[in-house]
């Protein structure tokens, strides 16, 4: 059975909570001395943003918790989608270069690595993606560190979704129409081993860059990405099958049927004190059409009129009334200035 650790943590004693979580999910056994560990944090924006990006303290405590097992640790992320920010800016702002100086870990921009086209079969159909060679050939243990959040396009962003940032292509947005199968393919190809959620804040409503960050100080760690995601859904009171790529994952045997198939240190439902709900803004429905439909996606992102359409959007949203109408009560926010 898959194993999931879930609990509240006190920021002052997060190191002890992290150690307990790593022990519960079997990290000391799975990570032999010298093992090449890769950590994929959720760096959705250049600066630390509650409910949007991984918390620097959480990432630090994870690295410190892994150092006794191996010092061969790499942390990596790709450039922001549509080149809205450079990965190096996010690394600096989230304290990764400080961690590298202290512990000798590596920090890599996956967009700068050689990309290798690989194919696997998902839901009976071949799926091809270009992934960094590092992830395909030079990693023994892949650890994903997502931030639990609602998501305007995928319903929720949990354990599987974080690996979309493994694609080095800055214009990976053009691959959205095949997202549900592609994200499962990516997780299979990089062999996601451990999933450790930074639930310092959990983002409600629109996501992934706007919404209400709910303080929860929650750590959810699993030796299986599907099981950990299922536990997060229980905490958020979210139907896991409302997330389309979870349905694909279940068909592929990568998502448990229920919590009865998971060994937890405690029942995740004990921590479910808020109903998280997706509330799309007006512009989200335009984005959703481009997310799901190939020809609309190409029109907005890969056509002769794409730049013009984006310029029009930038222009009309300068009007506060129009901006409110498009983005809802949370507004576009600083992070949203990097894209739609």
- Residue pLDDT, tens place only, 216-238: 999 999 999 999 999 999 999 99
CA 275 – CA 136 distance, rounded (Å): 38
| pLDDT at residue 327 in the model | 74
Percentage above 90 pLDDT, the chain: 82
- Residue pLDDT, tens place only, 119-129: 999 999 999 99
| pLDDT at residue 283 in the model | 85
Q: Using CB atoms within 10 A of its CB, is residue 125 exposed (0-12), middle (13-18) or buried (19+)?
A: exposed
Under 8 Å between Cβ of 147 and 42: yes
pLDDT band of residue 337 (cuts 50, 70, 90) is very low
Q: What domains can be seen in the chain, in order of their start residue?
A: 2-279 (3.40.50.11440), 280-340 (no CATH)
Interacting residues of 146 by C-beta distance below 8 A, sequence separation 6+: 42, 157, 158, 159, 161, 162, 195, 197, 198
Under 8 Å between Cβ of 41 and 204: no
pLDDT above 50 for 325:
yes
For 235, the enclosing helix (H) or strand (E) is helix 225-236
pLDDT above 90 for 331:
no
| pLDDT at residue 48 in the model | 95
Tokens 């996501």 sit at which residue? 207
SS3 of 67, please? coil
Q: Across the chain, what does the average pLDDT equal?
A: 93
pTM of the model: 0.93
- Residue pLDDT, tens place only, 145-198: 999 999 999 999 999 999 999 999 888 999 999 999 999 999 999 999 999 999
| pLDDT at residue 83 in the model | 64
pLDDT above 70 for 335:
no
| pLDDT at residue 340 in the model | 37
CA 283 – CA 299 distance, rounded (Å): 16
Provide mean pLDDT across the span 81-92. 85
Interacting residues of 265 by C-beta distance below 8 A, sequence separation 6+: 4, 5, 6, 7, 24
Report CA-CA distances (Å) from 192 to 82, 102, 167, 303: 25, 26, 14, 34
| pLDDT at residue 336 in the model | 43
pLDDT above 70 for 272:
yes
- Residue pLDDT, tens place only, 20-71: 999 999 999 999 999 999 999 999 899 999 999 999 999 999 999 999 999 9
């Amino acid at each position: 059975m898959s194993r999931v650790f879930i609990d509240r943590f006190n920021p002052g004693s997060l190191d002890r909570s992290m150690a307990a979580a790593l022990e519960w999910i079997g990290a000391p056994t799975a990570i032999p001395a010298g093992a090449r560990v890769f950590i994929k944090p959720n760096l959705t924006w250049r600066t630390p943003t509650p409910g949007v990006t991984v918390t620097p303290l959480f990432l630090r405590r994870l690295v410190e918790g892994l150092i006794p097992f191996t010092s061969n640790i790499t942390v990596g992320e790709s450039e922001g989608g549509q080149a809205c920010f450079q990965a190096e800016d996010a690394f600096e702002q989230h304290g990764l270069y400080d961690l590298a100086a202290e512990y000798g870990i590596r920090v890599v921009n996956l967009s700068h690595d050689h990309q290798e086209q690989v194919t696997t079969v998902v839901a009976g159909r071949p799926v091809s993606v270009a992934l960094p060679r590092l992830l395909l050939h030079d990693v023994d243990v892949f650890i994903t560190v997502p931030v639990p959040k609602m998501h305007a396009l995928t319903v929720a962003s949990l354990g599987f979704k974080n690996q979309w940032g493994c694609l080095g292509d800055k214009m990976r947005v053009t691959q959205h129409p095949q997202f549900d199968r592609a994200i499962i393919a990516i997780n299979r190809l990089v062999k996601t081993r451990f999933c450790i959620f930074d639930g310092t804040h959990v983002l409600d409503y629109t996501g992934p860059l706007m919404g209400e960050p709910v303080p929860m100080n929650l750590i959810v760690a699993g030796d299986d990405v599907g099981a950990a995601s299922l536990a997060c859904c229980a905490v958020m009171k979210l139907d896991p099958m409302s997330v389309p790529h979870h349905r694909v994952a279940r068909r592929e045997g990568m998502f448990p049927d229920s919590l009865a198939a998971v060994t937890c240190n405690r029942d995740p439902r004990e921590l479910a004190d808020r109903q998280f709900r997706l509330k799309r803004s007006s512009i989200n429905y335009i984005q959703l059409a481009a997310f799901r439909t190939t020809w609309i996606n190409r029109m907005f992102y890969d056509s002769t009129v794409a730049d013009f359409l984006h310029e029009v959007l930038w222009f009309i949203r300068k009007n506060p009334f129009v901006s409110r109408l498009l983005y809802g009560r949370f507004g576009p926010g600083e992070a949203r200035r990097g894209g739609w």
